[in-house]
Amino acid sequence: MSQPLGQTLPTNVIQHLVGGNPVIVGTTDADGHPYLSAAGSCIALDERTLRFAAFSNGRTLANIRRDGRVFLETLGDDLVVGIRGLAAIVKEPMDASAYPPHHYAMVQIDVLHVKMDNPPGARIHGMRYDFGHSRHPEERMQRRAVLLNELRTPPAPSEPAAGAAE
């Protein structure tokens, strides 16, 4: 049973997302159907703001460009939370990439509504990233750390486009 939590992220959700835990991102395709994807880099900047890295050439980012409405679901240990918000691309491309040569865009989400979806009486074991099966797990974790640090840093103001009025 869903329990509305309001318009800000509770402390336990912020603590869960500070480390860049995975979320499922829901967007809307051009035909109006829902589209879900996993993002392994979601961080909470504060109680009203989230950021994650999205593949620049991915469908999630294309959907956000067209319609910024998003819904995120994250699972932690004994934590199932849904977050509705408005997304905007704040930096593209990002300097860091967990999977070079693939480029990422930094997406920022303004939180609009938060709900708790913990099933009554059930124990939840959350989603986590582990690169133990990759060819170079230490290198992957280092790239991920650089990516998460970039997400925590405010993007530099954009320069005006060539020919733009000042």
Q: Are the C-beta atoms of residues 124 and 80 closer than 8 Å to each other?
A: yes
Tell me, what's the pLDDT at 10? 96
Q: Are the C-beta atoms of residues 104 and 61 closer than 8 Å to each other?
A: no
pLDDT at 36 over 90: yes
CA distance linking residue 101 with residue 81, whole number of Å? 32
Tell me, what's the pLDDT at 113? 98
| Residues 129-135, mean pLDDT to the nearest whole number | 66
Tell me, what's the pLDDT at 133? 66
Which CATH number does the domain 3-152 belong to among 3.30.300.30, 1.20.1250.20, 3.30.70.260, 2.30.110.10? 2.30.110.10
φ and ψ of 162, to 5 deg: -55, 130
Q: Are the C-beta atoms of residues 48 and 111 closer than 8 Å to each other?
A: yes
Q: What is the reported pTM?
A: 0.84
The amino acid that residue 88 corresponds to is A
CA distance linking residue 144 with residue 53, whole number of Å? 11
Tell me, what's the pLDDT at 131? 63
Tell me, what's the pLDDT at 12? 93
Closest among 79, 69, 31, 39 to 55, alpha carbons compared = 39
Closest among 154, 47, 161, 28 to 91, alpha carbons compared = 154
Q: Where are the domains of the chain?
A: 3-152
Closest among 107, 115, 110 to 63, alpha carbons compared = 107
Tell me, what's the pLDDT at 18? 81
pLDDT bracket for residue 165 (50, 70, 90): very low
Rg of the chain (C-alpha set):
16
pLDDT bracket for residue 164 (50, 70, 90): very low
pLDDT tens string 73-125: 999 888 999 999 999 999 999 998 877 778 999 999 999 999 999 888 888 88
Q: Give, as one character, the DSSP assignment of residue 103.
A: -
pLDDT bracket for residue 20 (50, 70, 90): confident
| pLDDT averaged over every residue in the chain | 87
pLDDT at 158 over 50: yes
Residues belonging to the chain: 166
